[in-house]
Amino acid sequence: MEDEFEIKDLQNFFDFRGFLLKILAWWPLFVVCIGIAYYIAHYKNVRRQTVYRMSNMITVKDDQNPFFTSNTSLTFNWGGTTDKVQTAIILLRSRSHNETVVEQLQYYVDYLQQGEYHLEDIYGATPFVVDVNTARPQLLGKQVKVVFTSATEYELSIDFNGGSGSAQNYDTKEVLNLPLPAAPISGSFALGDPVDLPYLNFKLNPSGLPPELGKEYIIRFNSFNGVVSRYRDIGISQTPSGSSILTLSLTGNNKARLVDYLNASVRILAETQLERKNLFATKTIQFIDSSLAVKSVEMKNVQEELDKFRDENSSIGIGSSEESLIAKITELDAQKQNLEQRLQYYRDLETYLRTREDYGTDIPAPSITGIGEGSVTSSVSSIIELAEERRRLAYTAKPNNPAFRDLDRRIDAIKAVLFENMASSQQILRGQLQEVRNEIAATEGQMRKLPQEQQQLFGIQRRYNLTEGAYGVFLDKRSQAGIVKAANVSDIVIIDEAKDTGGGAIGPNTEVSYVMAIVGGTVVPLIIVFLVFFFDTKIGNPNEIKRLSSIPVLGAIGKSASKNNLVVIEDPRSAIAEAFRGLRSSLQFIYRKQQLEGAKTVRVTSSVSGEGKTFCSINLASVFALSQRKTVLVGLDLRKPKIFGDFDLPNVNGVVNYLIGDSTLEEIIQPTKIPHLDVILAGAVPPNPSELLMSSQMDVLMEALKKEYDYIILDTPPVGLVSDALELDTYVDATLYVIRQHYTKKGMLRLINDKYKKKEITNISFVLNYFSAKSKLGYGYGYGYEYGYGYGKYGEAYRQKKSGGIASRVKRKMKRAARWINEQLEH
């Protein structure tokens, strides 16, 4: 059937079994790579610092001021608890908030000491605290060494070698470039003394811990912005999700530093939130205080004027009827002042809202001016809330975010309603003001009927009463605002402070490093083996031959350490000799299958020179001769004859001489020292070897040899180079195609595969030469039993086993394991 001759294409089939055996063969590489990777992981693990995670827990409340009423609208809501939680999260990660924390803690200063493998952070464990002069520049990145010589004195030194360095002013954040000394500097100082250098300005204050004399402490100043960026990635999680409870966490190498930062961050957040919560009340108090100051001056001046008038006009008094007029005019003046103040507030508020976009709390509360309309108060509060939300959104959103347009639209809508309400209120207030003015004018008409001196006294008393009344109103509002502000509490409540309770270590995860080392140490050699295997163009084992060709593999010949090709004769008990005996048995089976009688021929060829074709021919002929059969070895490789050297015969007279008629058959046949074995050499190299082998004289030669000998071994040229060997197909009963392990290229089998598929050549078998099971672990085991030559089994019978040492026992165990794997793959 045609399917029997289908040749498998290497490009369409991957030899997984061969690849697995290749991996087994390269096991030392895997061991070495895994060992190296494991050592690297261990080397890095012992040098990695312990990583800690510290955390604290807070909750964001929606605490309303118990004194907050419609008449004391001196605070505003941020938008409910949910909005406050999101605001707190954004603030905790904001640059401005973390800048404040870093500045207060002066975390741009590192406290270090030299450990076994690296610099260790010893923040909180030093006998001193650095008090930085933030108005002066500090040298960045340079190690400042401190060694105590007594309990209060220390030696300070810095290693300089010239050049320039960067220094930063922590007040202005300005970075300067400064020239550095060309040599190291040092100096002695006492705790509390200022260190005043062009590049260093600080004091070391005692921390309460006793210093270790002679121990070297290291101070290092870092870039302010770099430190802030490092702390902005603070971990924040809501527990449970969506709740108002926040867990803050930081990771680092020093637990005390993490604890202080977490607690300071929460404290500053609470202070900032309370400050913003009180901002409306604070601005109102500032407005009242300024008004009180003005009224206080006015009241003092009027009081002095009144006292002076009474001293100068002691005879002038005020009767009961005149006092009623004064009381009435004072009440009307107070009403007028209140109405005018409310109208002015509306005008100021309208101007403020029409000219500003970042609405805040720069104007006092409406209740301060006596405005108690709920619509106005709620509208002002809503605008402030939306403006606050817009500012928070600016922390994370881009300027073209649609949320900005939505907030602006909502603010404009509230402003439009507020403007209408204020216009209506102003109209009513103006009407009321006109009525009060009319009453004041009527009362003033009655007062003008009094004597001139009394009118003058009434005027002074009127101004005094008006100023005193306004002062009393403002004083009362000041008291109300102070109560509201004092009653405000922060919405940030600490549940658990960050605290070092022991433990907290989360790294390094050495187990993962070792696992990754094993994985990496396996993957790298695996890739190497895959590339070697994938790009290996040479045949390495019988399985590859079976995959590449339908031609059967008749046997395998092991490596020969002998310098002479006559291995069968020189060492008849060797494994190689036994392998050739197996080939002889297999050939006889082929001959019996063909029912041949008389002389039998076998052609030995290969793809290219160097594959051991002549070696196989000589030893195959020898093994046939040892069976006491008349055997002749014919050297038909006319272009490159070799046989004569192995038998120490002169290559003077041979096949060429016979084919051209210069010699007879008897003249070219030469006996050897091996009984029953004759040799016919090639002779001189002819110019036309192919034509000679195709001549009729070749037919005569083969007929004559078949009458004389039992076995005829033909050593022919490689078919991959010339076609001479194929011209002899009519004379041979069997063909052995020699393939050399790790030498013959896979592509060289295409020619013989094509001939075999087209049935241009028959009765052909492969012989794997120079085969070594040890060189490629596991390739040889089991093939002897399949092909019938018993190389592995009989080879050991001819060699005495040696127990060897540990290495030998390991090798034997590896071989047995490989044999078992090979057998499983075979099945």
pLDDT tens figures, 665-689: 999 999 999 999 999 999 888 888 8
386-410 pLDDT per residue, tens = 777 777 667 656 677 787 788 888 8
State the burial class of residue 92 (Cβ atoms within 10 Å of its Cβ: 0-12, 13-18, 19+). buried
Whole-number average pLDDT of the chain = 80
Q: How confident is the model at residue 802 (pLDDT cuts 50, 70, 90)?
A: very low
Tell me the CB-side half-sphere exposure of residue 752, using CA atoms within 13 A.
Answer: 33
Kindly state the tokens that stand for 395: 């922390």
Contacts of 121 (CB under 8 A, 6+ apart): 110, 111, 112, 252, 253, 254, 257
Query: Residue 454 has what pLDDT?
Result: 63
Is the pLDDT reported for residue 295 higher than 70? no
Average confidence (pLDDT) over 650-664 = 90
Average confidence (pLDDT) over 511-521 = 88
The verdict on whether omega for the bond into residue 542 sits within 30 degrees of 0, i.e. cis, is no
Query: Residue 455 has what pLDDT?
Result: 64
Kindly state the tokens that stand for 258: 């993490």
Burial code (b: 16+ CB inside 10 Å, e: under 16) for 230-246 equals ebeebeeeeeeeeebeb
Label residue 744 left, alpha or beta by phi (over 0 means left) and psi (-120 to 50 means alpha). beta
Query: Residue 366 has what pLDDT?
Result: 65
Average confidence (pLDDT) over 804-809 = 61
Collapse the DSSP code of 128 into the 3-class scheme (helix H, G, I; strand E, B; otherwise coil) and give the result: strand
Is the pLDDT reported for residue 634 higher than 90? yes
The verdict on whether omega for the bond into residue 508 sits within 30 degrees of 0, i.e. cis, is yes
Domains, the chain, with CATH or none: 2-48+508-534 (no CATH), 53-277 (no CATH), 279-487 (no CATH), 542-799 (3.40.50.300)
Cα angle for residues 380, 74, 59 (degrees, 5° grid): 100
Average confidence (pLDDT) over 611-624 = 93
pTM: 0.55
Cβ contact 369:359 at 8 Å? no
Is the pLDDT reported for residue 425 higher than 70? yes
Is the pLDDT reported for residue 757 higher than 70? yes
Find the length of the chain: 827
- For the beta carbon of residue 49, count every other beta carbon within 10 angstroms: 16
Query: Residue 456 has what pLDDT?
Result: 67
Structure-model confidence comparison of residues 714 and 367, the more confident one: 714
State the burial class of residue 166 (Cβ atoms within 10 Å of its Cβ: 0-12, 13-18, 19+). middle
Q: How confident is the model at residue 10 (pLDDT cuts 50, 70, 90)?
A: very low
Helices (H), 572-674: 575-593, 613-626, 643-646, 655-659, 665-668
Which residues on neighbouring strands pair with residue 634, listed in sequence order? 680, 714
Residue at 380: amino acid letter: V
* 377-to-341, 346, 353, 371, 422 alpha-carbon distances in Å: 16, 12, 14, 8, 11
Is the pLDDT reported for residue 625 higher than 90? yes
Q: Find the range with the poorest average confidence among 28-32, 286-290, 510-514, 654-658.
A: 286-290
Average confidence (pLDDT) over 796-820 = 56
Of these ranges, 23-27, 40-44, 505-509, 711-715, the one predicted with the greatest mean pLDDT is 711-715
